């Protein structure tokens, strides 16, 4: 298909990202580019659709968050947002440049997956994290944050928006 060829021409590579909005990043104390959602694909993610996707993924037992067939598509300003040391292979974390960390990325496709993370993978942990904060239990809070950050990793195709 012609559209697939065009997308491949502007693809920077594939890798694992932390798929989370700004509220999650703040709660988990994670730095990285600002995630803009519903810029191009403004279709909502209804609770029913997210629940269906969660069930299709085996309610977490068959998540496949790091499988290319389930990758999200992320747009970045240009190649300078990516760190030079990133290998662009799909099985490694994306390394952001200093410019990229302070910039933004656009979730072109994958809003339902983001909602699966928020509503099913991290919701319980966020409540526990609030409790740890109330109790001033910094040790358990930090351990839980690390576990939650791992749960929010997702395979992504990165495309150069400057070339589109």
For residue 73, the tally of other CB atoms under 10 A from its CB is: 17
Token output for 80: 């300078």
The per-residue pLDDT for range 26-58, each reduced to its tens digit, is 999 999 999 999 888 777 788 888 888 888 877
Give mean pLDDT, residues 111-131: 92
Give mean pLDDT, residues 59-71: 79
Q: What is the pTM of this model?
A: 0.86
d(CA 90, CA 157): 8
pLDDT of 164 reads 58
97 neighbors 103 (Cβ within 8 angstroms): no
21 neighbors 36 (Cβ within 8 angstroms): no
Extended strands (E) in the chain: 11-18, 34-37, 72-76, 104-109, 153-160
pLDDT of 89 reads 76
Residue 99 confidence (pLDDT) above 80: yes
d(CA 142, CA 134): 14
Q: Model confidence at 157, in pLDDT bands (50, 70, 90)?
A: very high
Q: Where are the domains of the chain?
A: 2-160
């Amino acid at each position: 298909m012609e559209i697939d060829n065009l997308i491949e021409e502007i693809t920077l590579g594939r890798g694992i990202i932390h798929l989370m909005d700004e509220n999650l990043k703040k709660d988990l104390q994670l730095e990285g580019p600002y995630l803009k959602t519903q810029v191009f694909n403004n279709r909502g993610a209804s609770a029913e659709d997210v629940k269906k996707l969660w069930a299709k993924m085996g309610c977490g037992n068959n998540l496949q968050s790091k499988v290319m067939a389930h990758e999200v598509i992320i747009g970045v300003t240009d190649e300078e947002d990516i760190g030079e040391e990133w290998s662009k292979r799909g099985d490694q974390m994306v390394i952001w440049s200093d410019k990229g960390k302070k910039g933004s990325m656009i979730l072109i496709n994958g809003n339902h997956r983001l909602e699966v993370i928020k509503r099913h993978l991290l919701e319980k942990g966020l409540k526990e994290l609030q409790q740890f904060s109330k109790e001033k239990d910094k040790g358990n809070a930090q351990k839980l944050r690390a576990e939650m950050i791992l749960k929010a990793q997702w395979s992504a195709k990165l495309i150069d928006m400057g070339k589109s």
